[in-house]
A and B are shown apart, each in its own frame.
Chain A
Amino acid sequence: MAVRGNIVGIDSPEALEKALRAAYYLADEGLATAAYLALALGKPLLLEGAPGVGKTEAAKAIAAVLCRRLIRLQCYEGIDAAAALYEWNYPRQMLAIRQAGDESIDIYGETFLIERPMLAALRAPDSTVLLIDEIDRADQEFEAFLLEFLSDFQISIPERGTVRASEHPVVVLTSNRTRDLHEALRRRCVYHWIDYPSAEREARIVMMRASSVAESTARAVVAAVGRLRREPLTKAPGIAEAVDWAEAATVLHQRGARWPDAFKRSIGLALKDEEDLRFISPRLDALIAEAAA
């Protein structure tokens, strides 16, 4: 196992947490530890959690801390090797064959190869972070294919041979858990379940992300969002929604709306489902008043 104790001066979870904070990401102890271990052990980091808890943001922040380019591979149903690894530029190859006439020509040269995210990350492992986003959306065939990539960090191109990474690249996978991932995938990764943050930390996140929001507003929004998360809603508001709601309420307030009213009128940024709105509306006034207190 390639243990790297020290990555760009980060030699402990605490150091990583501090660096992430400088990149405007507040990680809790668990996430900082998992991310540090993933970097140090050279294993992929698998982040699971409800939508909107900051999984993708975490990957962006890690890339920023390491001063590396983030390569994002958004998964979707039907994603295949041609979209994730590499593809040949067929029209160009076809033209080259035509133009060559009787001369011999190598149509599998570098000029005909189109790099896709995974190959790009593999070729520059020391300057990129590969984010494989929402892996649960891809189908099981792709997940199985990913297993091989994540354990050996190599890709074989039949026409050219095997491409191997010179060092283990930094890979972050995220999942919303819309389906159970295969055990083997979890086994290969360092795993962290991102939960909703504590009220205290969430308020700090809101203030960090939306600088115009006053502390009292942030606290009130976080308290209200926390209460909403306890209700049986189709889509509970995530951190991003809390930030948006706080910002929207602040804007309305600056335009002259009174406080509870500003919260109420901008509820559409926190709850984005008509049935949820209908379900909560009779108690909305009480809920906001309680949160603001």
Chain B
Amino acid sequence: VNDETRLPHAARLFISFVALLRANGFAIAPEQTVAFLAAIELLGPKSLAHIRQAGLATLAPPPERQATYNTLFDIHFLGREELAANGAEDEEIVRLQEEGHGNEEALLADDANESGLTATRAEALTERRFAEGATSQALRRLSREAPARLPRRRGYRRGRARRGPWADLRRTLRETVRNDGELLHLGRLRRRTRLRRILLLIDVSGSMKGQTEENMKLAHALAQATSNIEVFTFGTRLTRVTRALRVKRREQALLAAAHLVSDWDGGTRIGDALRAFLSVPRFAGYARGAAVVVISDGLERGDPSSLRDAIARLARRSWRLSWLTPLATSPSFKPQTEALIAVRDLVDQIVDGGSTGAIVSHLLSIGERKVA
């Protein structure tokens, strides 16, 4: 190594800070490190605040992890003794550092979007590992048939077509030039279709215990089959697990999801969970124009009127809202639970969600009506 390429001693402190962030699951590219150093040089730095700001701007920690960033910053630049002041965050850091290995951790911590619902009587905070089982036939059917049969909508992009409302001027001109200025054929354009967003809300409460694992496997298969999907789990809390389920290997994805969700097998407060969902504009936007699928038995501990309100709002935003319950095993099913009676008129369909096969059949049939 020649001397000019060697870093000045002072820079090592900043580089090791980047390494510390990486070890805690922040994804930082080398070019960001370069920008970080350039930014520090530009700013003086006249104070520690400058370095903190430079890091925030160039290393771009996601907003929901800025508290972790700040704690790590304090550890690194102010020394460990200051830590006694904020013990709560410290705990998280220690955990992350212990198991910290790059990508997987980023997935786990990044999306811990629990919408702050306070714990209740029936809540049992447990972490659970999914048992690994053989891929069921239904899941194979889902991934095989999904591209052709999942619901689609008309997109805003135009593509060439034999017939369509617009003339394809670009293509026509090129052909004209090729034919010495003779216009022989007018190309056409029409709007292309794209996959409609699917919003999957999975009940992970105690009453659904027997089925939760299969439902999560299904959610993973669906997340692999379509890119336009959002998955949330709810019980006493609401958790977004979409990013975890994007991981291709099922065992790894489900493990990541299992870490994120902390209310396995607890009580159910569907109304409150949905209200929390709707009050985050970012999340509520996911429901707009989407095929919303709720998998829940509708055994509600909370207030059925709050559930009714929430479902009404969800139904108004969505394209189709279907409720899958394990109780609806026969076509002549009549809702019995208070919650299901309350939402009966608001949802488009209440159908059988008792087995993976039944859910897959339903998912593949949502789009069967004409493309809307």
> Footprint of B on A, CB under 8 Å?
1, 3, 5, 12-13, 29-30, 33-34, 36-38, 40-41, 43, 46, 48, 50-51, 76-78, 80, 88, 90-91, 93-94, 97-98, 100, 107, 139-141, 176-178, 180, 183, 186-193, 232-236, 275
Distance of B36 from chain A, by nearest CB (Å): 10
CB within 8 Å for A232 and B279 given contacts A5-B42, A29-B53, A30-B56: yes
Whole-angstrom distance between the alpha carbons of A91 and B282 in the complex?
43
Q: Once the chains bind, are B66 and A193 in contact (CB under 8 Å)?
A: yes
Q: Once the chains bind, are A41 and B282 in contact (CB under 8 Å)?
A: no
Whole-angstrom distance between the alpha carbons of A125 and B31 in the complex?
23
Which residues of A sit under 8 angstroms from B79, Cβ to Cβ? none
Which residues of B sit under 8 angstroms from A98, Cβ to Cβ? 181
Q: Once the chains bind, are A77 and B173 in contact (CB under 8 Å)?
A: no
Which residues of B sit under 8 angstroms from A1, Cβ to Cβ? 34-35, 38
Name A's interface SS: mixed
Q: Once the chains bind, are A78 and B156 in contact (CB under 8 Å)?
A: yes
Whole-angstrom distance between the alpha carbons of A1 and B30 in the complex?
13
CB within 8 Å for A234 and B43 given contacts A77-B156, A187-B32, A192-B57: no
Q: Once the chains bind, are A94 and B282 in contact (CB under 8 Å)?
A: no
Q: Once the chains bind, are A80 and B157 in contact (CB under 8 Å)?
A: yes
Q: Once the chains bind, are B43 and A3 in contact (CB under 8 Å)?
A: no
Q: Once the chains bind, are B63 and A193 in contact (CB under 8 Å)?
A: yes
B284 in contact (CB, < 8 A): yes
Whole-angstrom distance between the alpha carbons of A78 and B32 in the complex?
30
Minimum CB distance partner of B110 in chain A: A180
Q: Once the chains bind, are B49 and A97 in contact (CB under 8 Å)?
A: no
Q: Once the chains bind, are B35 and A97 in contact (CB under 8 Å)?
A: no
B143 in contact (CB, < 8 A): no
Which residues of A sit under 8 angstroms from B279, Cβ to Cβ? 232-234
Q: Once the chains bind, are A187 and B54 in contact (CB under 8 Å)?
A: no
Which residues of A sit under 8 angstroms from B157, Cβ to Cβ? 78, 80, 139, 141
Minimum CB distance partner of B49 in chain A: A29
Minimum CB distance partner of B44 in chain A: A12
B50 in contact (CB, < 8 A): yes
Which one, B50, B63, B243, B313, contacts A48 given CB within 8 A? Answer: B63
B147 in contact (CB, < 8 A): no
Whole-angstrom distance between the alpha carbons of A131 and B169 in the complex?
29
List 8 tightest A-B contacts by C-beta distance, closest first: A78-B156, A232-B279, A191-B60, A90-B169, A34-B57, A33-B53, A193-B63, A97-B181
Which one, A41, A93, A177, contacts B39 given CB within 8 A? Answer: A41
Distance of A187 from chain B, by nearest CB (Å): 5
Q: Once the chains bind, are B35 and A43 in contact (CB under 8 Å)?
A: yes
Can you sample 13 A-B contacts with CB below 8 Å? A30-B53, A34-B56, A41-B35, A43-B35, A48-B63, A76-B156, A90-B170, A180-B243, A186-B60, A187-B29, A190-B35, A193-B66, A234-B278
Mask, B258-284, CB within 8 Å of A = 1, is 000000000000000001101101101
Q: Once the chains bind, are A88 and B27 in contact (CB under 8 Å)?
A: no
Distance of A55 from chain B, by nearest CB (Å): 13
Whole-angstrom distance between the alpha carbons of A217 and B42 in the complex?
41
Which residues of B sit under 8 angstroms from A187, Cβ to Cβ? 29, 31-32, 60
Question: What 13 additional pairs, Cβ within 8 angstroms, besides A33-B57, A34-B57, A191-B60?
Answer: A13-B43, A30-B56, A33-B53, A37-B42, A38-B57, A50-B281, A78-B155, A180-B243, A187-B32, A190-B60, A192-B56, A233-B279, A234-B313
Distance of A39 from chain B, by nearest CB (Å): 10
Whole-angstrom distance between the alpha carbons of A111 and B327 in the complex?
69
Distance of A225 from chain B, by nearest CB (Å): 16
